[in-house]
Structure 1
Amino acid sequence: MDLVGKVTRTRKGNEYICVLVDYYTKWAEAYAIPNKSAAVVSRCIINFFYRFGAPKRILTDQGSEFVNQ
């Protein structure tokens, strides 16, 4: 899982891309999102889980947006 951006704003106001990859199958999903808030990112993750099932673990690059405050 990783967040890409800030990219050029789309007509719908999205400026970031949330990327989730299944480690086993290498299947990637990318979601255009307006910001990096916990609520928006968690929506992407939950959508991915509903479609493909919950993983045993989640790997990230431990970016600052994943640090609990």
Structure 2
Amino acid sequence: MKFSSQANPEILNILHQIADDEGRKFHSVLDEAFRDYLNKKGIPLKNIKVETEFSQSLQEFNELYKELAK
């Protein structure tokens, strides 16, 4: 789901750099940060994590999945 917000530019730059260094998409790093924060607050996300990973996989490998389905 897309949303709009404001954040500290230094933090955003660091998150973008982490994504680049790890060869990941920014939204994946941001999702991980959100999940870690919620876990720290005692809010378990076991089912949501699976759904998030599946959704990210579909976005990242959509063309590959289409080819494999042929």
TM-score by length of 1: 0.32
Q: Which structure has the bigger radius of gyration? A: 2
If asked which structure has higher relative contact order (CA below 8 Å, sep 6+), I would say 1
Q: Which has the higher strand share?
A: 1
Q: Which has the higher helix share?
A: 2
